[in-house]
Structure 1
Amino acid sequence: MSRFERMRGRLRRAYESGRASSRARRVEPAAAPEQSDVAPSGPAAPGPATTGPATTAGRESSTPLHPSTASRDDADVPHALRIGAAWSWRLIAIGIVAWALLRIVGTIRIVIIPLAIALLLSALLAPAVGWLLKARFPRSLATGVVLVGGLVAVIGTLTLVVNEFIRGVPELSEKSSQGVRQIQDWLKTGPLHVSDSQLNRYIDEAQTWITGNSKTFTTSALSATATLAEVLTGTILVLFATFFFLRDGNKIWRFLVRLLPVAARWKVDDAGRASWSTLGAYVRATVLVAFIDAVGIGIFLVVFNVPFAFPLAALVFLGAFIPIVGAALSGGVAVLVALVDSGPVTALIILGAVIGVQQVEGHVLQPLIMGRAVAIHPLAVIIGIAAGVVLAGITGALVAVPLIAVLNTAIRRLAARTVPDTPPDAVVVASQAP
């Protein structure tokens, strides 16, 4: 064998040995971290044989940390404190976002409130539009017919209420004067024994208060004029928004869903449609319950010949749209009118009728008509109404409860782990086998 062949054999063996050692390093786990505490032996290891600080550092690095910690400093903080801090900054972030949203809503409330009312009206009138569409009406014509019919019904009802109120005001004013005199006589001859000088002083103080607050009344009248302009603008916006919600509501919703990421579209679409069903059920059930309340209390007002029976029944109907609070206030007005017109006995009977109707409404009508789909705890209702009054007045009180019902359904659907059904208009593309 020549020298060249021997050299080539040595190079091949060295190459194969290097490949074998490389494969062994890839297969076997690295043991360097585990042997970091072992001091190197032999003359190649300079310095003393003890590890000293290196051993301490190694022990610190090998100390097991909690899965939620990112460093040794976090591990020194108690777990409960770390959890509380994590919750705190997240709640602060949510509060800042909620505050910003409330400020935005308060700034553009003249637009937000009419749109919310338009959604309520659309949920109420949508079944009528559906019936006309089944009768082969064009969509625009069906929407226009339903909207005009609703306007005619509202205007006709308001006309009847105003006419009856105008006819009954003189008689009620006379009876109110008689009632005031009866109260004065009772204050004099009753258990309080109020003298004429004391009555005159109280009346003078009331007149002085009215005179001193005349500027406030004037400012309120001017603000009422500005509010009237806002009401007219909002009414026009409500009519336009209701028309387009009824005609193109499905297209508008699909457009909004397409703005979301693809992975979230089906979930949001399912939650939105379930919320719309809840809103429709709530509005229709509330209208039915309000009508039953108005008829029940109106019958008692007619039987006992209380004036303004129809306007008071209409007021009860409108007040029933504000759960718990509205029915009590409107019923209180009916009791006050009965007290002024017919005396305390009739007023007590009307009060009993109002309480009885409210009990039937709360324990029979609402659970039976609304069902569990829109069941809301009374505490949530009271808090929602109070917040709505603070933020947007009477309109906020009207919108608060349906908004809570819609959010309740939407959050439940979004938090559910079930996969929504495939939309009927979805196109499923299947891959072909090779």
Structure 2
Amino acid sequence: MKIQNPFRVGLIGTLGVGVGILILTSVVNLATIITYIGAALFIALGIEPLISFLERHKFPRWSALVITLVVILGALAGLIWAIVPVAVDQLTQLINGIVTWVNEGKAQQWYTDLQHQFPGIVNQQNFDAVTQWLQKNLPNITSTVLATGVGIVSGVFGALIVIILTIYFTASLPSIKRASYQLVPASKRARFSDLGDQITDSVGKYVMGQVSLALINGILSAIFLTIIGAKFPILLASIAFFFSLIPLVGTITGSVIITAVCLLAGPATAITAGIYYIIYMQVEAYVLSPRIMNRAVSVPGALVVVAALAGGTLLGILGALIAIPFAAGILLIIKQVVIPRQNEL
């Protein structure tokens, strides 16, 4: 093939590459904003089943929207008002308790007890290695703590932005869906609308199911930790709730943190808490999660793991959250579009 005007071809190719690089750079620079939009849209889809429930009970759309938002924002404000002061107070006690624990020599007594119980693991050599590592990495640890504080402040502003966007998306979700469906050719619009409604419904039910599992874990943790006499039960129950919102790894991560904090009340309390969370995770995996989540999304277990890992790698926590309903949507398209079309060939 003979190129008539090499300069024009090269110029157009260069401009195309430049536009591609500009688009990719823009996406990277807007990653935080895109994350906020994705999180708000995800939450809005999770609120939609509540609005639909009220609409089925003869409430107009606007009143169902107002009632749902007032109830959710009121519950969130009440939760913050009830838990945050207690959690902050208990966190202060936790820090003071650690300082006192070290100053009064209780840390050494605890270390001695662990040496007697686990002589092969806890010994002076490992203790010295950990101490040396902490001394070498103390500047990095300090800078990480400062960066974490800045991140918390940024997270608060990000949460406010997500709340505002969620209210907007929830109010305009039907119009957003209609506008999206109009981009599809008229001959395929009805089928596309039906699939779109099924996918958005599954996302909403998935969000409600994940929140239900987190509430169960948080409430049971508060009751159990209070019974065994663990320190700071409200703070630890809040950790259990928020970590349980993260699929797959959230519950086990929160359980490890809670069990480690229970060491302040003694090894026996920590062991009891560890045994409880091992049992709870089995109950959640084989009893609670199948009963609650199968009503929302029908995804094979292996695909759930792969989707959550891939989503978490690409987009962090938000990616892990949306990966499972996204996988459910792909399976729905395959079952209702791809396979029937292949059967017709």
Q: TM-score range by the shorter chain?
A: 0.7 to 0.9
For the residue of structure 1 that corresponds to 2:97, the secondary structure is helix
Match of 1:408 in 2: 331
Give the Cα separation in 1 of the matches to 2:60 and 2:121: 75
8 Å contact from structure 2 (residues 181, 193) kept in 1: yes
Partner of residue 399 from structure 1, selected from 314, 317, 322: 322
Give the Cα separation in 2 of the matches to 1:162 and 1:413: 51
Give the Cα separation in 1 of the matches to 2:126 and 2:293: 52
Q: Which amino acid in 2 is paired with 1:109?
A: A
8 Å contact from structure 1 (residues 106, 391) kept in 2: no
Match of 1:257 in 2: 181
Match of 1:114 in 2: 36
**TM-superposition CA deviations, 1:129-167 (whole Å, max 9, x none):** 456664458457446524532541453243442233234
1:367 is the counterpart of 2:285: no
Partner of residue 97 from structure 2, selected from 155, 162, 171: 171
Q: Describe the shift of the 1:266–1:336 C-alpha distance in structure 2 as closer, same or farther (beyond 3 A).
A: same
Q: Describe the shift of the 1:130–1:172 C-alpha distance in structure 2 as closer, same or farther (beyond 3 A).
A: farther
Structure of larger gyration radius? 1
For the residue of structure 1 that corresponds to 2:246, the secondary structure is coil
Structure in which a larger fraction of residues adopt helix: 2
Q: TM-score, normalised by structure 2?
A: 0.75
Give the Cα separation in 1 of the matches to 2:328 and 2:245: 14
Match of 2:218 in 1: 294
Give the Cα separation in 1 of the matches to 2:180 and 2:152: 33
Shift of 1:193: 11
8 Å contact from structure 1 (residues 335, 347) kept in 2: yes
Match of 2:143 in 1: 218
1:266 is the counterpart of 2:190: yes
For structure 1, the 5+ residue unaligned runs are 1-99, 419-434
**TM-superposition CA deviations, 1:300-323 (whole Å, max 9, x none):** 211110011111111111122223
Partner of residue 384 from structure 1, selected from 307, 311, 318: 307
Shift of 1:341: 1.7
**TM-superposition CA deviations, 1:258-307 (whole Å, max 9, x none):** 01222221222111100111112111111212222222233221111001
Give the Cα separation in 2 of the matches to 1:223 and 1:331: 21
Q: Which amino acid in 2 is paired with 1:323?
A: P
Partner of residue 125 from structure 1, selected from 47, 54, 69: 47
Partner of residue 280 from structure 1, selected from 198, 201, 204: 204
Match of 1:89 in 2: none
1:341 is the counterpart of 2:270: no
Q: Describe the shift of the 1:161–1:203 C-alpha distance in structure 2 as closer, same or farther (beyond 3 A).
A: closer
Q: TM-score, normalised by structure 1?
A: 0.61
Shift of 1:411: 4.2
Q: Which amino acid in 1 is paired with 2:70?
A: V
Partner of residue 273 from structure 2, selected from 339, 345, 350: 350
Give the Cα separation in 2 of the matches to 1:272 and 1:329: 34
Match of 1:209 in 2: 136
Shift of 1:368: 1.5
Match of 1:85 in 2: none
**TM-superposition CA deviations, 1:15-39 (whole Å, max 9, x none):** xxxxxxxxxxxxxxxxxxxxxxxxx
8 Å contact from structure 1 (residues 274, 410) kept in 2: no
Q: Which amino acid in 2 is paired with 1:158?
A: V
RMSD (CA atoms): 3.6
Q: Which amino acid in 2 is paired with 1:299?
A: I
Aligned residue pair count: 314
Give the Cα separation in 2 of the matches to 1:265 and 1:361: 40
Alignment of 1:156-195 (within 5 A): 156=81, 157-175=83-101, 180-186=107-113, 191=119
Match of 2:239 in 1: 315
